Amino acid sequence: MVALPEAIDRFIEHLRSERYLSPHTLTNYRRDLHRLAASCPDTTSLEKIDPLAIRTQLAALHRSGLSGTSLQRWLSALRTFFNFAIQNGWVKYNPANGIKAPKSPRKLPKTLDVDAVGQLMDSQGTSWIDVRDRAMIELIYSSGLRLSELTNVDIQSIDLHDASIEVTGKGNKTRVLPVGTQAITAIRTWLKVRNELAKEGEAALFVSQRGSRLSNRSVQMRLAELGVRQGSNQRLHPHMLRHSFASHILESSGDLRAVQELLGHANLSTTQVYTHLDFQHLASVYDKAHPRAAGKPPKPKE
């Protein structure tokens, strides 16, 4: 018999040591499982948690205002946890299977259009911080990097001659991405400054004034400040540039699979949510591609 708190600890350690999930993801799993533990009056045994207990907690979370997406993630965490419990012989079945969360309306990600991205790049000044920020923005938009992928990039990870970069994404998976010409130029300019700032032995591509690796929070604050300086009516953040990268590539190519690979998504459905095509573009593609769409419709006979 395994108590729920002990089972949670062993599950989290499994995710950390064997699946190499990020600290942020581990925190989310632990929070979701603690929500389950808080709702169970008896945590002495996993076998006492049945579908009714999970449905009751699901309804309570829904009433508290938790979104459908968050509830789906909660149920997914529970299913993964109980599958682990089955593998260890702690329970005989998964009580979270077959339980569905209420759906939330799907929201399209906010993006910048091509002109807005160009204005953002051109608005940079000439100080060392401006040079660094422009290189970061160019790289995120050029290669569609996640925030953590950007801050974890080391100098040896980028090949300026081959115009490529190797990044480590979710699940500790690495992928090699192309880097655009303008991003390469901005990074070359930054490297001249960076070499004077970085501490001895520091491997990070982007460093702070102290010469150490730049934090995620610092990047977020810098982009938010740039958005305000530019007079944007919406908060500028790194993920918006990643969204814009994906949207612009997809609109130009129509190749969803290629965008999936570039973004490092395990499932194509994630890419479909992540990007969007406006109707005018779809209509244009349809008119050019469909064999019976071309030409003007015949006039009705009088």
107 is a catalytic site residue: no
User: Per the residue annotation, which of 132, 141, 194, 274 is the catalytic one?
Assistant: 274
**How big is the chain by its Cα radius of gyration, in Å?**
24
146 is a catalytic site residue: yes
Contacts 24+ apart (CB under 8 A), 44-48: 44/1, 44/3, 44/4, 45/1, 45/2, 45/3, 45/4, 46/2, 46/3, 46/4, 46/7, 46/82, 46/85, 46/90, 46/91, 47/1, 47/90, 47/91, 47/92
274 is a catalytic site residue: yes
User: Per the residue annotation, which of 16, 239, 276, 281 is the catalytic one?
Assistant: 239
Phi then psi for 204, rounded to 5 degrees? -65, 140
Give which of 33, 121, 111, 124 is closest to 77, Cα–Cα.
33
User: Per the residue annotation, which of 132, 134, 146, 248 is the catalytic one?
Assistant: 146
User: Per the residue annotation, which of 213, 222, 242, 243 is the catalytic one?
Assistant: 242
237 is a catalytic site residue: no
User: Per the residue annotation, which of 222, 243, 248, 265 is the catalytic one?
Assistant: 265
281 is a catalytic site residue: no
User: Per the residue annotation, which of 30, 48, 170, 281 is the catalytic one?
Assistant: 170
Phi then psi for 159, rounded to 5 degrees? -110, 105
Question: At a CB cut-off of 8 Å and minimum separation 6, what does 198 contact?
Answer: 204, 207, 211
From residue 263, alpha-carbon distances to 143, 235, 256 in Å are: 8, 22, 11
Question: Which of helix, strand or coil describes residue 176?
Answer: strand
How far apart CA 228 and CA 225 sit, in angstroms, is 5
What are the beta bridge partners of residue 165? 158, 177
265 is a catalytic site residue: yes
Q: Which residues are catalytic?
A: 146, 170, 239, 242, 265, 274
